[in-house]
Structure 1
Amino acid sequence: MSLVSSAQRVPPQVLLRWSVMVAAVTIALKSLAWWLTGSVGLLSDAMESIVNLASAAFALLMVRIAARPADEDHPYGHHKAEYFSAGFEGLMIMVAAVGILWAALDRLRAPQAIEQLGIGVLLSVVSSAINGGLAWLMFQSGRRHRSMALEGDARHLMTDVWTSAGVIVGVSLAAWTGWLWLDPVVAIGVALNILREGVHLVWRSSEGLMDRALEPEVIAEIAKTLRQFEHRTIRFDHVATRRSGRRRFVDLHMHMPADWTLGRAAAVRASVEQALMSAVPGLRATIQLLPTDVEAHFDDEEDLI
């Protein structure tokens, strides 16, 4: 079994528990690096790791809620809980960005010498390597499980990795050249970068909560499957798709001759549903049967009142 295949099989909850533990370790390493050097750039890196810890803990809670089965109050399940995780993580990133900007602007007005750079950089490199490895595992598992929570946490961790790389370069240049203003300038760049990532996560979360259509390639696969059943006596229309957490849904109308028996029509519908769910993993199909000469309308004004 390949390394990628093994990574994809790691359950989301396990990875998020790892993320919580890794966040605690990286907070300790990066805080120590900041304490030793006094660098505001490394302080910004440590602050982002605190956000990682809070976000990973919230994501773990949301994934557990999303995994609950449907109940009387939530007949369609709890899958959308993962979108709240991504939205919360985005907001936390934005809060961290504001805090970093505040500290960086204060240090820009009063630059401070950087001490014990070698040890501080080493600690930052070690923590970044840990975050990078975990982010890779999360991306692989997130694709397999179609988990917005995992994807959000993985993106945040990768942002943290690139942030650390930028901080290390900037802080090293500041110490080497003696241009102490480089340290807070790097921190400001870090803040703006993670602010952009936070806005992106909040936007994606809101898109999911508004029942965004499935990916174009998935819609194409659905259309390809339906064409296999099209006939001069059978046609499909009003095909609508949406995504809810890990679940995918498609609703459509299937038109067939009015003189067909209910048993025959139901058998054909069952074949179409099975084909769709086999072609698209995690898909739930809802097919309404209609006679060939009957059309349904959903856009009448009275339906919107």
Structure 2
Amino acid sequence: MSEPAAAADRRAVLRRRIRLLVAATITYNVIEAIIALSAGTIASSVALIGFGLDSVIEVSSAAAVAWQFSGPDPERRERIALRVIAGSFLALAVYVTVEALRTLFGGDEPAHSTVGIALVAVSVVAMPFLAWAQRRAGRELGSASAVADSKQTLLCTYLSAGVLVGLVLNAALGWWWADPLVALGLAVVAVREGREALRGDSCCAPLRLDADPADDCGSPAGCTGSCCAGAPR
């Protein structure tokens, strides 16, 4: 098989892989959002509600990538997908900030949530695997939107860990204020990730498809897109 044909076949494989990973992400996050929003509403937990909304946003982000790769020329749809992902991050940051401040200064103390703790603990374990797989495929393909969506999934892991700490502190020690403080920290992370997604529309593609994705950022042309953010050196 000629080199161009092999490269084309590899790209097709990577696109199918990304579509499958996106489908898995959407399915998981729909279930997660329903449980988190219900449990968060019952417990009046802004961190848990924010976690549920992040799951909703993760679905919209994954759907944007699925839409991009459903067409014959995904690269042409990349900029729109990146804007959807960035907007999702920023919308989450605004909502969580407002609700966290309202909780802190309004004295609306969140209750304990055993269901929320169990759900978030599962996410801490499951999300990193999905994020790693999609990030690797996206970087090898040179897709900024796929990498940005993987970072959305990875943010869900950070979100899970932070929310878990807040829920456990509230349940074990009665530190209700840990819940909104964790939410404010997550809002800061969401703003940063949204800005990086907006800058990712000039993602560098690897020089060759059989290259190690970790080496993508070492190209002479340099790279400023989200594909290279946080890449191992």
Where does residue 42 of structure 1 map in the other structure? Answer: 48
Which protein is bigger by CA-based radius of gyration? 1
Give the letter aligned to residue 218 of structure 1: S
> Which residues in structure 2 correspond to 1:113-152 (within 5 Å)?
113-152=109-148
Where does residue 198 of structure 2 map in the other structure? Answer: 202
Normalising by structure 2, we get a TM-score of 0.76
Q: Any idea what SS the aligned residue of 1:115 has?
A: coil
The one of 160, 180, 185 aligned to 1:184: 180
Greater CA drift, 97-106 or 81-90:
81-90
Q: Supply the distance in 2 between the matched residues of 1:168 and 1:241 (Cα, whole angstroms).
A: 38
Deviation at 1:168, TM superposition (A): 1.1
Give aligned pairs, total: 206
Could you say if the C-alpha distance between residues 83 and 185 of structure 1 is closer, same or farther in structure 2, counting changes exceeding 3 Å? same
Greater CA drift, 100-109 or 29-38:
29-38
Could you say if the C-alpha distance between residues 97 and 216 of structure 1 is closer, same or farther in structure 2, counting changes exceeding 3 Å? closer
Could you say if the C-alpha distance between residues 176 and 112 of structure 1 is closer, same or farther in structure 2, counting changes exceeding 3 Å? farther
The one of 13, 19, 23 aligned to 2:19: 13
Deviation at 1:213, TM superposition (A): 11
Q: Supply the distance in 1 between the matched residues of 2:126 and 2:77 (Cα, whole angstroms).
A: 28
Where does residue 64 of structure 1 map in the other structure? Answer: 70
Q: Any idea what SS the aligned residue of 1:11 has?
A: helix
Structure richer in strand, relative to its length: 1
Could you say if the C-alpha distance between residues 62 and 115 of structure 1 is closer, same or farther in structure 2, counting changes exceeding 3 Å? same
Could you say if the C-alpha distance between residues 135 and 38 of structure 1 is closer, same or farther in structure 2, counting changes exceeding 3 Å? same
Q: Any idea what SS the aligned residue of 1:179 has?
A: coil
- The two structures, once aligned, show a CA RMSD in angstroms of 3.1
Give the letter aligned to residue 189 of structure 2: N
Deviation at 1:119, TM superposition (A): 2.4
In structure 1, list runs of 5 or more residues that go unmatched: 1-6, 69-77, 220-239, 247-305
Structure richer in helix, relative to its length: 2
Identity, % of aligned positions = 24
Q: Supply the distance in 2 between the matched residues of 1:213 and 1:151 (Cα, whole angstroms).
A: 13
The one of 47, 60, 70 aligned to 1:54: 60
> Which residues in structure 2 correspond to 1:207-218 (within 5 Å)?
207-208=202-203, 217-218=218-219
Higher relative contact order (CA 8 A, sep 6+): 2
1:156 and 2:155 aligned: no
Give the letter aligned to residue 189 of structure 1: G
Deviations 1:155-176 (A, max 9, x none): 0010111011011112322333
